[in-house]
Amino acid sequence: MKEIFLQIESVIPKDIPLLIKLNAHDHTQKEGITPSLAAKYAKWLVDLGISAIEISGGTNHYSPFDIVRGEIPSEELVQWVPEGIRDSAKNMFKEMQGKYNLQEAYNLEFAKLIKPRIGKTPLILVGGLRTLSCMEDIIENGYADLISMSRPFIREPLLVKQIKKGRKDRSACTSCNRCVAALPNDFPVRCYENSFPNKI
């Protein structure tokens, strides 16, 4: 980690901040990243001079939906699976259904553990942030310094502008994950909640 940090730092201009997105939990049964290990790595990064740390959680070890959470778009995902194994893939995706449900701010517990270990270095929280009240609560309680979102901006690129103008309701992103299913299908990333191009 130190070598990678120093190498990147040596090639970027001094006025460009160097941030990291840090996985705080592999969710694997034996070895792997745990929140306490992630807190230790976060402290190392702070000592090296990292500008900010974004806390995420999950790996592709069992499923990419461990990272993003939400629905498993099985019908859309099978489009990239070879025809002969399409039915078994469909069953596999269906079995995953419900295992990775999205709760708002699903990485918050990791942030709470890591924040006191990193001093004044800003902590950015990502993962399932959907309501302004939850985001404000996190910031006001000092659990994180900044909020990060992915799918809400795919669904509504003007979300922040609208919040600044007084919008208070939940992001319209339903976490259906069709935008994630677009990736292996080589479709451009955009919101596909209401339609998904047919590749088959």
Ligand X SMILES: Cc1cc2nc3c(=O)[nH]c(=O)nc-3n(C[C@H](O)[C@H](O)[C@H](O)COP(=O)(O)O)c2cc1C
Interface positions with ligand X (CB under 6 A): 21, 56, 67-68, 126-129, 149-152, 179-180, 183, 189
Instruction: State whether residue 107 is helix, strand or coil.
Output: coil
Closer to ligand SF4 by Cβ: residue 34 or 63 = 63
Return the number of the residue (69 or 112) whose C-beta is nearest ligand X. 69
87 CB contacts (<8 Å, ≥6 apart)?
A: none
Check if the beta carbon of residue 115 is closer than 8 Å to that of residue 144. Answer: yes
Residue closer to ligand SF4 (CB basis): 35 or 128: 128
Q: Is 197 exposed, middle or buried (0-12, 13-18, 19+ CB in 10 A)?
A: exposed
Minimum distance of ligand X from residue 174's CB (angstroms) = 11
Question: Which CB atom, from 84 or from 188, has the smaller least distance to ligand X?
Answer: 188
**Which residue in 83, 78, 127 sits closest to 103, CA to CA?**
127
State the residues that interact with ligand SF4 by CB under 6 A: 151, 154-155, 173-179, 191-193
Q: Which is nearer to ligand SF4, 72 or 108 (CB)?
A: 72
The Cα 89–Cα 95 span in angstroms is 10
Q: Answer with the entry of ligand SF4, ligand X, none that 193 interacts with (C-beta below 5 to 8 A by kind).
A: ligand SF4
> Are the beta carbons of 124 and 145 closer than 8 angstroms?
yes
CB of 20 to ligand SF4, least distance (A): 25
- At its nearest, how many Å lie between ligand X and the CB of residue 34? 19
DSSP element (H, E) containing 20: strand 19-23
State the minimum distance, in angstroms, from the CB of residue 196 to ligand X: 13
Provide the sign of the torsion angle of the four alpha carbons 74, 79, 82, 83, taken in this order: positive
Binding partner selected for residue 192 from ligand SF4, ligand X, none, CB under the kind-specific 5 to 8 Å limit: ligand SF4
Q: How far is the CB of 30 from ligand X (least distance, A)?
A: 23
